[in-house]
Amino acid sequence: MKKQSHITPGLRLSVMAAALASALFAATPATAQLSTATLRGQVSTGTTATPAGTPVSAVNQQNGYVYRTTTRQDGSYVLPNIAPGVYQIRVAERATETVTLNVGQTSTLNLNTGTQTVVITGAASRRDVVTPEVGTTVSRDQIERLPQVTRNFLSFADLAPGVRFDVDQSGNVTLRSGAQNQDNVNVFIDGVSQKNNILRGGVSGLDSSRGNPFPQSAIAEYKIISQNYKAEFDQVSSAAITAVTRSGTNEFHGDAFWDHTGTNLTAKDPFQKKAEAQGIGRPSSSQDQFGVTIGGPIKKDVAHFFIAYEGKKIEEPRQVLAQNANLLPNTGVVPGLLAKQGAIQSKFDEDLFLGKIDAQISDEQRIEATLRVRRETDLVPENKLLSLPGNDVARDNNEDRFDIKHVWSRGDFVNEARVGYEKYTWNPHSSATEPYVKYLISPSNTPNNVKDVLIEGGSPNAQFRQQKGLLLQDDLTYTGISSHTLKGGFKIKRMEYDLSGTSRSVDMYEKLIDNVTGVATTTKFDAALPPVGVNFKNTQYGIYLQDDWQATPKLELNLGMRYDYENNMLNEGYATPADRVAIFGKQDPRDGAPAGQTYAQSLAKGGVNIQNFISDGSNRKSFKNAWAPRLGFSYDLQGDRSSVVFGGWGRAYDRAVANYALDELQKNLQPGGEIWMMRTDHKAPYTDQFSLGLRQAIGIWNGEVGYTNSRSRNQFNWFGGNRDPQGGWGTQSPIDPLWGSVPGFGTLVLGDFVSQAKTETVYLKMEKPFTRASNWSLNATYTYSDAQMTNKEWSNDIFNWTYGRYANAWNPSTNVEKHRLVVAGTAGNLLPWGLMVSGKATVSSGLPYRITDCHTGFSNCVSIKGDGDNFTQFDLGLAKEVGSRYGSLTFRLDVINLFNNINYGGYDGWVGGPSNPPQNSYGGDNKNVGLQNSMGGPMRTVKLSMRYAF
């Protein structure tokens, strides 16, 4: 492409290589950025480099902010830490053309001041070419246009290779990459980590929630990096997502929207049809989402504001249907129970708020303040199918964050200082005080082989989890050395954890219904437990240094090192209760134990050194070896950015969630209860990442093919620690742990950093970026994955009950498909009547699952692999914009799962015991051995939307 235009006499531009909207790559080193972009290049006069110290500036065309630097000895310049946006570039105050910079992007703009013309060469659709990272950028156009129901901006994270964004039947979200633990992802918003320190899910507010972590209307764009992020990324060893929020501009802009869907716009799933056939109708439901944004100048070119609010209200149907009704007699307690079944609604309310003020207080200094508030309440049943009215819990999910960022730039350095405060609270609780009663039925009228019927009474769940933190962070970028961009920084975060509650706030009963008389007899009783808790503080330290070095005109090296340390990640001052410690030094009282053999010695015969798990309040050790080197390269084969080989290797550390400390405390406070102990030598989970790939320009398309390898270690697991007096597993089935411990106490459960996971992928990406000229875009990502883990549960669960029974064998991961294809595209004004169309298609080979086979005897049980059905979903969006002098009104229709594909999400995984052997043959490649028991995706759902913007 070549473009010429006349500008101020005496000025000429040469823009070499390209990225989206004239942002191009390559002559000088890149610098990593969590929420900003970098502009770099060469300034010359004719064939001679411009003198050192020549002023170069970038002026934001939306808010007037100016970013300044000067040229180095060789005439090169670097403008790091620029907020994404559209910029006019100036040399010695003489204006040039504009460029558009995206989050995490590095663009090259070479300037020649010898003539009067502007020349732009290269493919203007190339971006993120000279980088070792494996990832994908999601633009504001894609966020606004691609179809979805939830308004969770993370919904499109699966456009990146190896990343999954899943929503279960209850609307709870899981974000993961490969076979790695879901806790090891992290999201950075405007450079601030959103890490969940206390619960699972990686991101605060993502665990056990059908809400959104952030108002989507406030997100400008984001980037998903699934491999080889730079050293400034911390507390992440899986996928890292870096997002930037919208800001006010020199003009007032705003919008208001409303979305609606509900029962009459959603097709019935097979389970709802089955219930309806039994007389249990589906109640009416609705989901409404609404919000407003407004932003504009406080003082033109100096200060601006932006405000966003989003609300969500859900009234979701739930059908309570007695299970195993064919076994129930029509007498006793049964008629009364059956009269309570029927249709119920589960309600959800959420409010999200973002307020932002930014100001350029001088030519060298800028300041930005952000306030975020989240309030969420969800009424959740203990069991979606079995819980009668009242057997539910109100789950509060609240978050407050406040951050102030100060940026000081002068010549060849930029310093970014930040202070912040966060408070995140998760509080499921029930106001009911009636006992929890679970009714069971048995064909033989015995406690063996019992089946569920219904649950009534109050929920026993009463939990409180809170993390509060104060953040001090500073990052310095230095560009004064030719061919090098140095960036380093530190972070200190003072965290406080308040973890308390009880899993049995009311008495709990299990009652067996006589299958003749209908009389319910108590077979199990657990008394209510008082709430207990633990409070502890933890200081997190992080420091890093990275050098992006242009070793040759074609070769760029990215060299970094990071170190992290936490002084109290898991309640280091905890002491194991004396009654638990005492049992290990006493004679093993079980049959078969030789005289004089202690319980600890019995465990030692089975490879368990219990001394490694006994805490005396001073012997727990914080992990001190979290050194994380990160190395990357990119090589431009022809020197024109059309063919770039890239790759890298790096180690990334994460952390274990603080809730494990509460699990240990609560269990050990129960007299004669279970014994839970964590290993005293604490470790931090980490992943070694390797990738190698090729980026290739193919006309207007960007192509990429690559190979990645991730190996994760030190994943935390609870497992069964008990062994028999000979150090063995007694008469337990090969797939079961040896439950229990010594008489008088419950099961011995040990926690250690022992699980591993590994994923190999080969991926192919094709991208045609959106441009105003073409008015359409298309992204396609195919990923082949081989994912395995050492967890005997075949999932990234925190329980690995039979750990230690066999060699550390590798098992298939139930969280990763072999084949996955995601295609997403948008187009404007290509259909009649000016309709805008968008779509997203997801096709995969289905998730594997574990099959338990005991048909040759319970002592011979084995676990084998089953393959779930293929997954297919196509989503379609249609929109029509009507403009006027007062703004624009957009009407929109989204259809999720347009073809109403039935995608099952789970199987019971049981094919029979000795008394009921399987009726079919099965093996590792056979599908549908177990019965489908859940949905893995929505049925066809229509969402109606309306948006007014000015």
| Helix runs in 572-704, H state only | 578-584, 599-605, 659-668
Q: Which of 62-66, 324-328, 873-877 has the lowest mean pLDDT?
A: 62-66
Q: Can you give the pLDDT at residue 807? A: 77
Between 124 and 770, the more confident residue is 770
Give the number of other Cβ atoms within 10 Å of residue 857's Cβ: 10
Q: Which residue has the tokens 């907020």?
A: 83
Q: Are residues 417 and 367 in contact, defined by beta-carbon separation less than 8 angstroms? A: no
Q: Are residues 235 and 250 in contact, defined by beta-carbon separation less than 8 angstroms? A: no
Q: Which of 112-121, 247-256, 598-607, 688-697 has the lowest mean pLDDT?
A: 112-121
Residue 372 to residues 175, 308, 469, 639: CA-CA distances in angstroms?
A: 22, 10, 15, 45
pLDDT digits (tens, 9 = 90+) for 776-826: 899 999 999 999 999 988 888 899 999 998 877 899 999 999 999 999 999
C-alpha 783/C-alpha 26 separation (Å) is 28
Q: Does residue 20 carry a pLDDT above 50?
A: no
Strand, helix or coil at 298? strand
Structure tokens at 415: 């310093």
Q: Can you give the pLDDT at residue 553? A: 86
Q: Which of 295-299, 390-394, 444-448, 873-877 has the lowest mean pLDDT?
A: 444-448
- Label residue 13 by pLDDT band (50, 70, 90): very low
Q: Does residue 3 carry a pLDDT above 90?
A: no
Q: How far apart are the first and last CA of the chain?
A: 35
Q: Can you give the pLDDT at residue 46? A: 72
| Residues of the chain above pLDDT 90, percent | 64
Helix, strand, coil shares of the chain, percent, nearest 5, are 10, 50, 40
DSSP E strand stretches across 790-911: 811-812, 819-827, 836-844, 848-853, 862-867, 871-884, 887-896, 904-907
Q: Does residue 28 carry a pLDDT above 80?
A: no
Residue 837 C-beta-side C-alpha neighbours within 13 Å: 9
Q: Are residues 644 and 126 in contact, defined by beta-carbon separation less than 8 angstroms? A: no
pLDDT digits (tens, 9 = 90+) for 111-170: 777 654 433 333 344 555 778 899 898 999 899 999 999 999 999 999 999 999 988 777
Q: Does residue 895 carry a pLDDT above 80?
A: yes
290-298: average pLDDT: 97
Q: Are residues 104 and 242 in contact, defined by beta-carbon separation less than 8 angstroms? A: yes
Between 302 and 866, the more confident residue is 302
Give the number of other Cβ atoms within 10 Å of residue 88's Cβ: 15
Predicted TM-score (pTM) of this structure: 0.88
C-alpha 849/C-alpha 936 separation (Å) is 13
Residue 763 to residues 28, 381, 789: CA-CA distances in angstroms?
A: 29, 40, 21
918-925: average pLDDT: 38
Please provide residue 340's backbone torsions phi and psi, each rounded to the nearest 5 degrees: -90, -10
Closest CA to 570 of 414, 694, 698, 676: 676
Q: Can you give the pLDDT at residue 39? A: 81
Between 447 and 645, the more confident residue is 645
16-34: average pLDDT: 35
C-alpha 644/C-alpha 136 separation (Å) is 16
DSSP E strand stretches across 672-818: 675-678, 686-698, 701-720, 748-768, 776-789, 811-812
pLDDT digits (tens, 9 = 90+) for 408-448: 988 788 999 999 999 999 999 987 889 999 999 999 888 87
Q: Which of 33-47, 201-215, 723-737 has the lowest mean pLDDT?
A: 33-47
pLDDT digits (tens, 9 = 90+) for 76-105: 888 888 888 888 888 887 777 778 887 767
Burial of 772 (0-12, 13-18, 19+ CB in 10 A): exposed
Q: Are residues 489 and 477 in contact, defined by beta-carbon separation less than 8 angstroms? A: no
Q: Can you give the pLDDT at residue 877? A: 97
- Label residue 585 by pLDDT band (50, 70, 90): very high
Non-local (6+) Cβ contacts of 685 within 8 A are: 181, 184, 237, 653, 654, 655, 656, 712, 713, 714, 715, 716, 753
| DSSP annotation string for 15-41 | E-S--GGG----SS-----SS-EEEEE
Q: Can you give the pLDDT at residue 122? A: 35
Q: Does residue 4 carry a pLDDT above 70?
A: no
What rounded mean pLDDT belongs to the chain? 88
Q: Does residue 318 carry a pLDDT above 90?
A: no
DSSP state of 528: -
209-218: average pLDDT: 92
C-alpha 69/C-alpha 54 separation (Å) is 8
pLDDT digits (tens, 9 = 90+) for 487-540: 999 999 999 999 999 989 999 999 999 999 999 999 999 999 999 999 999 999
Please provide residue 832's backbone torsions phi and psi, each rounded to the nearest 5 degrees: -60, 155
DSSP state of 593: P
Structure tokens at 233: 């990324």
Structure tokens at 386: 């079995």
Closest CA to 777 of 706, 720, 838: 838
Q: How many helices (H) and strands (E) does the chain have?
A: 6, 50
Burial of 142 (0-12, 13-18, 19+ CB in 10 A): buried
- Label residue 12 by pLDDT band (50, 70, 90): very low
634-658: average pLDDT: 94
Non-local (6+) Cβ contacts of 234 within 8 A are: 186, 193, 491, 542, 544, 562, 564
- Label residue 352 by pLDDT band (50, 70, 90): very high
Three-state SS sequence of 54-99: CEEEEEECCCCCEEEEECCCCCEEEEEEECCEEEEEEECCEEEEEE
Please provide residue 588's backbone torsions phi and psi, each rounded to the nearest 5 degrees: -65, 115
| Residues of the chain above pLDDT 70, percent | 93
C-alpha 599/C-alpha 609 separation (Å) is 11
Give the number of other Cβ atoms within 10 Å of residue 923's Cβ: 10
Closest CA to 4 of 138, 165, 119: 119
Q: Can you give the pLDDT at residue 419? A: 98
C-alpha 60/C-alpha 38 separation (Å) is 13
Q: Can you give the pLDDT at residue 115? A: 55
903-932: average pLDDT: 58
